[in-house]
Structure 1
Amino acid sequence: MTFRILPGSILNIATYPFVPPTTLSGFLRRLAMMSVGMDIPETSINKDDPPFYTLPHRYVALGAYPSGNTLRTVHKTYRKGMREFNHYTFSRLYVEKDKANFQLHTWEYFIAEEMTGYVVSESLQGLEHFQKLKGYGCKLGKEGFAVVEDVSQPIQLRHETVAAIPSTIVPMEALLQNGQFVGGCDIYNLYRYKWLDNSENSSSNEGFLGEKRTPVEGFIPFVAAYYPKNINSAPTLDYFTDGETYIPVSLINLLKGEVYV
């Protein structure tokens, strides 16, 4: 799979080693539409009025991350040369500029045996719909494919301030404001949705199982830290946790469009 890091070079395509929150949100929305017999919505670029199909605002997708000790790695390959098998221009001694159609970049692929995705909500309303996504799969990211193998029952999380390795990414601003920056993490530029005003939906399936476009008008960049599981120390933060999973409160607030706390 490739989850392209943007902005990036057109010559070196790098990938995140996890599924970004926005990517997971769009993936789950498409599976939900498929689960009720709808086609996957058209995703071709429309600069004038780009459509967004994501989970409704009341569901906060936090991304998906490699599970436990399962296989995960980033593989870099080279796409330098002809684009197609029958592209004979590549072997010519003289190549006209307008007929040179080569691939000139390197490409990273994220390979993961299994990932765990997180979606949080303040209410149980509508969460039963996620159970119907088991067994469905589709394209995920710029390159790749994934299938939902299992969906847990809702897990109630409690609010605690504790030193723990985050199960997800953590907004860098929240770490720095609390003086909790811990070495050993990787730092990434990511994007979150810019929600339109009054974008909450009252119905449990509106904007999830239907064809209605999501009230999103673009993206807002942010910087996040990603901690490996084997670091020696962990940041002390406000988490929603059940004792095994640790979700930073700051990430939920950020993705919902709220201020840091």
Structure 2
Amino acid sequence: MTPDVSVVVPTFRRPALVVEAVKSALSQDGVRVEVQVLDDSPEGSAREPVLALGDARVRYVQRDVPTGGNPATVRNEGWPRATGRYLHFLDDDDRVAPGAYQALAHALDAHPERGVAFGRVEPFGDDAQVLARQTAYFEDAARRARVAQRLGSRRWLVANMMFRPTVLVNSACLIRRELLPVLDGYDPRLPLVEDVDFYLRAIRRAGAVFLDRVVLEYRTGAPSLMHNERDAKKAVSAYRLIHERYRREWGALEFTALRLATRTVLRWL
């Protein structure tokens, strides 16, 4: 039978963590799941622990040429092989919350006019200070997502993603598979915030539904691109590309209006 959710998991030298991530996807109730693990390490660090799961729903792929840290490229190799109605791009250090796939899939089933469903993020980790900061961040992100949902405008949500700290992360979203060719997948030019760009484009085109429930357990404190402050300049360059494309696709007038709204109305919401 056709899977409900196809899960694409890029991984790089996190064999124990990726197994946790995969198990969290496989344990979802009420949905049919298939999982691809795309190993971006030259030595195939995840091969043995992933194959040891012995689950026919899991496919392990060792990439021929490692990207050196470009998850957009890795994800773009995974989604054309997906067969599920919906896709979930799961980072290898995150965990899907119990019941998340069923809730997100039902939300998209109930709103066939919308392309993306996402929900709240619950951080976890050993560093109390980092955990407190991340918890506060995601609580504010959920608050702003609720406001955007009440307003009923995808542009308000897009404005939050372009001009304020994003209201979502990659692993907190489910997207309709038929949107991927339209979007041409992730932008491999972006070594950072490629998930913000991808879901921003998807939401502007097809809308989103926000679930006010935890769908993702987000690991804090693990080394990653976005936890490295030295990459701040790369993030600025990435947002510049995002803004340039938005102006080109949706017009300078809309772009300017959203930026002004962010500086005036949205900052109070």
Give yes or no for TM over 0.5: no
Structure with the larger helix share: 2
Q: How does the TM-score come out when normalised to structure 2? A: 0.24
Q: How does the TM-score come out when normalised to structure 1? A: 0.24
Structure with the larger strand share: 1
